[in-house]
Amino acid sequence: MLNDMKIFKNTFLCLKYPFLYPRNRWDDKHHNNFHWIYRIWKFCDNKSHLPIIFVYKFHKDPESSDIIRNHVIYDPDHQLYFLLDLGFIRIHYKNKFVDDFDAQQHVGDKFQVTGIEMSTTIGGDPIVYYHVVPFEKTEISHGFSCHKKTITTNKFFHYLSEIVKWTENHIIDPICFLPSSNELNAMDSGWRKTFGLQMCEEIKQALLKEGGLKKLLNYRILQIKEKWGQLCWYDGNGCESVNQIIDKYAEISQKTCGCCGKPAKYRTLGWVYPYCEECIKKHYGDNSYENNVNIEKI
């Protein structure tokens, strides 16, 4: 019931102030993130795919005894079989060829791949180390580099994960357009309570006056946050009158308690933030704030 009321309230605010409608910064669309869908997709993805890390180890001396020259390795835990063949690392899963990795292309034609060995990550995923040497001894170290390749180990769960992702993107996401939050939620609670909606109303009227409904619908909030004890409101497709409104409320925010919205009487230093007398006591104690060198009166 509480969630329904939040959705109703956010929908009302977004209809009244369209720029409060939360949108993805990249595609300008609204997305509701459902954790249960992600968990289903993650389960299917883990069942269907296996990441393999390829890392090369460089040796300065091509005759070094530390160089691995083994061309075949087997990983019984993942039922993987690797074969080094003319610079390619052939990957077999359950005795079936699934993919290969061009290790020679990865290191370039100035070096040769001599052999491979096996290890695992902390999470248990396989790592294949392939040893690389120059054709002649050198004093220059070329360090190491890595490459990640993912193979499909179960086609059923692979198709199932694709279906889940398609369902989310093309069915659930389009029909679940009602917002469970709005852009104003990013504003500190005291400022939002005191002047949040008033600021939105002034911005709306300024946009309508500047370019009508089209200007209002094209206006976007990019980010709202607190920095150095004042409101920071970043936007797109605005105008000079909107910039003046933002500057006005940024100045007001410096003298308004960010916690409750009452007039601020104190300001912390270092992490700059305005507090009223009641809120400064809650955060720093009844008496300790008076002699605190990191707190000043406004």
Q: Per-residue confidence of the chain (298 residues) as pLDDT tens digits?
A: 446 678 889 999 999 999 999 998 888 888 888 889 999 999 999 999 999 999 989 999 988 888 999 999 999 999 999 999 999 999 999 989 999 999 998 888 889 999 999 999 888 999 999 999 998 888 887 776 789 999 999 999 999 999 999 999 999 988 888 898 999 999 999 999 999 999 999 999 999 999 999 999 999 999 999 999 999 999 999 999 999 999 999 999 999 999 999 999 989 888 899 999 889 888 887 666 666 768 888 8
Q: Is the distance from CB of 131 to CB of 57 less than 8 angstroms? A: yes
Q: Measure the CA–CA gap between 264 and 260, rounded to whole angstroms.
A: 10
> Where does 168-196 have alpha helices with state H?
173-175, 189-191
Residue ranges of domains in the chain: 49-153, 186-297
- The backbone torsions φ and ψ at residue 130, rounded to the nearest 5 degrees and listed phi first, read -120, 130
Pairing of strands 273-275, 266-268: antiparallel
Predicted TM-score (pTM) of the model is 0.65
Q: Measure the CA–CA gap between 62 and 245, rounded to whole angstroms.
A: 69
Coil vs helix vs strand at 56: strand
Q: Is the distance from CB of 30 to CB of 23 less than 8 angstroms? A: yes
